[in-house]
Structures are given as structure tokens and as C-alpha cells.
Amino acid sequence: MRVHVDSYATDGPGDVAGLERILSELPMGGIARLALVAKTEGTATINDFSRELALSSAERTIERIGGTDLLGASTLIFSTGSEGVLSPVVYVLASIDDDGDGDRARLVIGGGRTRAMEAGELVTPTHARLVAGAVEEAMAEAGLAPDQVALVFVKSPILSHRDAAATGDPAVIARAGSSGQSRGAAALGVALALGELSETEIEDTRIGADLHRHSNRTMSFSGTEVEVGEVLVLGNRPGAGGSTQVFSGPMADILDAGSLRGLFRTAGCRFDGAGEIASPELLRAVFLKAGVAPDGRVRGERTTVFHSDLDPDKHMRATASGVIGGILGTGRVFVSGGTEHQAPPGGGLCACIADVGSPNGR
């Protein structure tokens, strides 16, 4: 088993020209799992229909080229919002049946999916448990133990305005229509599956409030375009083929460029005298989740992140795009805002997939 990693830029949410090119070069009959992790432009509001456009365009393309079997084996994680200097990008990961040729750990992926969630189950311990089950399913597919998992992506459902009107319960609407709380519930589910938190801790956690309880290896997103929780697990497993590994590490805050450079050094990258990466060809994909503490302070200084006309996540994406863009020399990177239960309050997470050489040597 090896994972083919590629990417393409888009001219708009419905642009699938790059996907068509990549799929045409892959062995259709040998793909065990196809995953798309996409950052596309859009308002990133509850009624942002660019999500539906991007998702449906990708689904139609996958089915047209690979058939219903490939679509059924696909995990699609689409996140909108490309503020700052972010360049919309779609990362394509394809797990291909192939014999491994070494005993060094290499990248593997696995997918899982919850059942459809009822409105009353959203942002509750049930939500977290359902995600935990999907994570366990994805780990089993990838052949990964919890301590081998480097990163878990979750796309989590929230209520649309239409569904909220049909629900009619103000308490349910308040929590189930919250993007941040849905992200948090999903992250707690990952923490449960990976053994970072216990079942009792999940039951006792006030989702969106007890932020000291969190996962350390999760990036979660939410949207009205899904009714189920979509899960993608990435890890490094001995005996896998290919030449890539996934690396992940925490950020102390949204300005923590030092931790970013440290992560990229661990992945084998070098830097020039100005601190910009000098070996960008080694990085096949970069993902960043940025957050700001609930009090809005960064390194002790007051900000207006939570007190302006702009959604807080837009501030975070724009800021993080500049921080990581200055290191990588490009804005073609996946950046998302909002780290509820995905990091300590104010913290974040960065991950990358890097080419480290064949399994028999670096």
C-alpha cells in the first residue's frame, strides 16, 4: 500500500480541471481510498452554497472517471474561506494497492463515516461518540494504532437555516447551528478514539466551554452540506510503500512561526538566511489550524478578533496565511480558523506531508 499525494489550484469552487488530470493518471482499479482535502473561496457562513458547488462538482467528476465504486471509497473534506493571501488548493491523496518494500514507516490513510445525525444529537456526547466510531473505522482501514495517528480530519454537520426553522427548539438551534461547537464536538470524538480523553470526560465536558479538554491531533470543520461526519485519518505505518510521511505538531499561538519552522525541519526541510524555506519541493501538502484564545488576547495584547464586523475565523485565516506564507514563500496552503477542543485555548496545530525518500532509506 502506498499513498499518492498531489494537488491542484482552482479558479473557483466548481473548478475540477486539476482533479480530472490527476485521476486520469491514477490506476482506477487499484485505488483503495481516495481523499480530497480542499480549501476553496467562499463566505464560510452557514448558507455558503459554494460548499455544495465544490462538493457536487468533485463527486460528479470522481463518479464519471472512476465509477460509483470509487465515489463510495472517497472521503471529501471541503473547507471554505480563503482570506488573506491564501490561494485555493485541493490536496488529493490516493491509497493505492501496492506491496511495501521496506520496514520504515510511511504514510497511510483511512476513511470513516458516521450515520446521519439528528438535529437533537448535534453538539452532544452522542455526536462525539459517533465521530469516535468513525475514527476507529478509519484507523482499522489504514492499519493504524492510536499512537501511530498523526492527524485526523473531520467534516461535521451543522443545521442550515432551513433545518433550524423546521426543528423549532431554540436550545437545539443554538448549539446545533454553531459552526464552532460542531467542530468542538467532532474534535472531542477524535480525542475519545485516540485515548486522549475518556468516556467520562466526554460526558462531563461542556462543549464549546471546557476548552481545556481537547485533542492534540485533530483538524475539524463544519458545514450544512453534510448530514454525516466524514473522517480521514493520516498516520505513518511500517511496511507501507511510497516515499512520504506525515508530520504534525502544536502551535503555541497564531504567531508561532518558530514551531512551524521546527515542524518543517523535522520533515527534512532547510531554510535560507532570511528564514524562508529553501527546499519547498519536499513538502507535498501543508495544513494549519489557527486559533485565538476566547479573551481575544494574543501574547497578552488585546485584539479585535471577537469584536469586529468580520467573523473571527476570517481574522484567523488571514493572519495565519501571512505567518505561514512568509515561511513557505507561497499562499498555496490549507489554512483553517477555529480550534475549539482541537488545541489548548489560543493554540493551534500544523501538519505536513513530506517526501522523505524510499522506505529503504531517506
SS (H, E, C) 312-341: HHHHHHHHHHHHHHHHHCCCCCEEEECCCC
| Whole-number average pLDDT of the chain | 94
Cα-only R_g, the chain: 19
**Per-residue pLDDT, 361:** 45
pLDDT at residue 32 greater than cutoff 90: yes
**Per-residue pLDDT, 64:** 97
pLDDT at residue 186 greater than cutoff 50: yes
Q: Exposed (0-12), middle (13-18) or buried (19+): which is 224, by Cβ within 10 Å?
A: buried
Cell numbers at 56, concatenated:
457536487
Specify the amino acid at residue 254.
I
Backbone angles phi, psi at 276, to 5 degrees: -95, 150
Q: What is the mean predicted confidence (pLDDT) over 313-319?
A: 97
CA geometry: angle 9, 10, 13, nearest 5 deg: 145
**Per-residue pLDDT, 278:** 95
SS3 annotation, 171-215: HHHHHHCCHHHHHHHHHHHHHHHCCCCCHHHHHHCCCCCCCCCCC
pLDDT at residue 153 greater than cutoff 80: yes
Domains for the chain: give ranges and CATH numbers.
1-98 (3.30.1330.170), 101-242 (3.30.1330.180), 243-355 (3.30.1330.160)
Work out the pLDDT band at 38, boundaries 50, 70, 90. very high
Pairing of strands 74-80, 89-96: unpaired
Q: Which residues contact 147 (CB under 8 A, 6 or more apart)?
A: none
Q: What is the mean predicted confidence (pLDDT) over 318-331?
A: 97
